[in-house]
Copies of this chain bind each other. A is one copy, B any other.
Amino acid sequence: MKNLAVLHAAQLVTLAGPARPRIGPEMNELGILLHGGLLVRDGVIVATGASDDIERTAPRDAEFVDAGERVVLPGFVDAHTHPVFAGDRVEEFEQRARGATYEEIAASGGGIRSTVRKTRAASEDELRQRALKHARWFLQCGTTTVEAKSGYGLSVEDELKMLRVVRDLNALTPLELVPTFLGAHAVPEEHAGSPARYVDLVINEMLPQVAAKNLAENCDIFCEQGYFNIEMSRSILNAAKARGLDLRLHADQLTNSGAAILAAELSARTADHLELTEDDGIAAMQRAKVQPVLLPGSVYALGKTRYPRARGMIGAGLAVVLATDFNPGSSPTPSIPMVLSLAATQMKMTPAEGVTAATINAAYSLRRGRKLGSLEAGKCANFAIFDCEDYREIACYFGIPQTHSVYVRGERVFPA
């Protein structure tokens, strides 16, 4: 039995509250304990309270962590990432700086397809080593759980390869990765003339193997003009649902294709992006309790100015989630603090709404709300200490994550 007591938090941001995602004004309620502390046994939180009380009641053999009047938060849960890939896309980054659009680059063989070529060519070990670097970045930014998508393989073998890498990473890094099958991320070059055949491949070859080998908890799809239309998306997602996978969608990013409404029709767990979703999509998601996963990093990185309508979604009672969309092309940031800055400055979310969206709401979107996303008795002792006195500084000062240290199940994982 190992006991750990965290003392002297200027703010212990607990997110304590009802055992469900937070909506509307609840998103501003962070359950902050001033001068707070935390007691952990065998990686699980057993108590939160005033630092003095925690110190007094801690077992004699407890190890003490002095938070030094800093801010303590639950580890961030990043509910939309693409952390496994080979190569980079700095050439395209420069092309965009020189004026090319994301769509133009994709049409000329760049974008997702460029990463697919490099990822197919890479060995599992190369992919693991590179992803381990990304895992260290996530931890350095205070993130302890990420949803991790495949989608740069786009063949049976390469999609399975990516999902095996995600599985293996869980043993190699303290970061928890939640696997999502995204075979329908793009139509690969060899099927460019016959997208329907590729949809068949996804449904009849990839999905059965992914499910049989238990390599994914979720199925995602890029429902977008030039990628997968509504009908194709519906077929793939229905097939995934039949195999017991939870559904997530890349929805309404580049055009308002009706994907948010499809997400509601299929009772998807999340619809992600939503830059162009209008009132009807928001209403449909509200009725079906689909959680929106907003990804302002990709709007920013693509030099666009239309951000998703976060205020409208919060106003409509949606349990909004924020995530990085970490990937080498359209959103090259692993930093939830950066996303909190974007949410506040570009989408007018309060810092508290941002924190709720990137912790407890994100945890529920991954079916981990009972275990992660808040600092409450019975939950995993995943937490991050930030070098500031007010949690709002994490969103205010941008470009430099103010992470002091990070713990997963009561063990310090950053600095390593």
Q: Closest chain B residue to A95 by CB distance? A: B350
A338 near B97 (CB under 8 angstroms)? Answer: no
Q: Which of B97, B393, B400 contacts A90 (CB 8 A)?
A: B393
Task: Given A93-B392, A305-B305, A392-B93, decide whether A397 and B332 contact each other with a Cβ distance below 8 A.
Answer: yes
Task: Given A300-B345, A348-B98, decide whether A333 and B400 contact each other with a Cβ distance below 8 A.
Answer: yes
The listed residue with most B CB atoms (<10 A of its CB), out of A334, A338, A399, is A399
B350 near A395 (CB under 8 angstroms)? Answer: no
Task: Given A93-B392, A390-B88, decide whether A348 and B400 contact each other with a Cβ distance below 8 A.
Answer: no
Q: Which of B300, B344, B393 contacts A88 (CB 8 A)?
A: B393
Q: Closest chain B residue to A348 by CB distance? A: B97
Task: Given A88-B396, A335-B399, decide whether A94 and B350 contact each other with a Cβ distance below 8 A.
Answer: yes
Complex Cα distance, B296 from A399, in Å, reads: 13
User: Which interface class (under 10, 10 to 19, 20 to 34, 35 or more) fits A?
Assistant: 35 or more
Task: Given A97-B349, A349-B97, A351-B97, decide whether A399 and B399 contact each other with a Cβ distance below 8 A.
Answer: yes
Residues of B close to A392: CB separation below 8 A = 90, 93-94
Per-residue CB contact flags for chain A residues 92-133 toward chain B (1 = under 8 Å, else 0) read 011011110000000000000000000000000000000000
Chain A, 395-409, CB within 8 A of any chain B CB: 395-401
A16 to chain B, nearest CB (A): 21
A399 near B401 (CB under 8 angstroms)? Answer: yes
A6 to chain B, nearest CB (A): 23
Per-residue CB contact flags for chain A residues 328-363 toward chain B (1 = under 8 Å, else 0) read 000011110111010011101111000000000000
Cβ of A30 within 8 Å of any chain B Cβ, yes or no, is: no
Cβ of A81 within 8 Å of any chain B Cβ, yes or no, is: no
Q: A interface vs B, CB < 8 Å?
A: 88-90, 93-94, 96-99, 137, 140-141, 297, 300-303, 305, 332-335, 337-339, 341, 344-346, 348-351, 390, 392-393, 395-401
Given contacts A333-B399, A399-B399, 15 further A-B contacts (CB under 8 A): A88-B390, A88-B393, A90-B393, A96-B344, A97-B344, A97-B345, A98-B348, A140-B400, A141-B399, A305-B305, A332-B396, A334-B399, A338-B400, A339-B399, A399-B401
